Amino acid sequence: MQFEKLRRLKPEHRQQLFGLWNSEFPVTFLHKHADDFENYLFKLDNPHHYLVSLSDKTIIAWAYRFERYNETWFGLLVHPNYQRKGHGSRLLDILKQENEELNGWVIDHRADMKQNGERYFSPLEFYLKNKFSPIPDVRLELDLLSAVKMHWEK
C-alpha cells in the first residue's frame, strides 16, 4: 500500500476518484459526467487530499478536507473490497492529527440505492466508532440527499 498527501490531484487521480465516487455513493448523489466531478473538486476551498493506493497505482481509499463557512470539513471514500480493513480509520486519524475539528455529512439511513442496484450502507456506526458525534438538529435535506452533520474536535 502506498500513501500520498496532495494539495492538487493529478488527472489520473481525478479519473479514478470519479469512478470510486459513482460506484460508492447513492444514485441520487452521483456525478453524471467527469466535468461535474471536476467542478465539485474545483469548488473546494483549500483542499488537502490523502490517497491510499495499491502498488499498481489503483486508489482504494481517499480522504479530503476543505474549508467551508469557517469550519473544516472532510469527505472519505473506501473501495468496498477494502472496507473493514482499517484504511478509513487510518485516514481519519491523519485528518484528526492535522486538524482541531472536522465536520461532515453522513447519510444515516438505508433508503438509498447504489448504481449497481445494492442498497447504500450508511457509515454512521463507523463514524461513531471513530469518536464523531452526530448533530441531529443539523440535517441536509435535499431532493438528492438526506444526511446528518457529524462533528469531531480535539
Pinpoint the alpha helices (H) of the chain: 11-24, 34-42, 87-98, 124-129
Tell me, what DSSP letter sits at residue 116? T
What is the pTM (predicted TM-score) of this model? 0.94
* Number of domains forming the structure of the chain: 1
pLDDT in tens, 51-87: 999 999 999 999 999 999 999 999 999 999 999 999 9
Place of cell 464523531: 132
Domain with 92, as residue range(s), is 2-153
Q: Rounded to the nearest 10 degrees, what angle do helices 11-24 and 34-42 cross at? A: 110
Residue 85's domain is classified under what CATH number?
A: 3.40.630.30
pLDDT, position 19: 96
Q: What is the rounded CA–CA span in Å between residue 147 and residue 82?
A: 24
Query: Which of 102, 99, 84 lies closest to 152, judged by CA?
Result: 102
pLDDT, position 135: 97
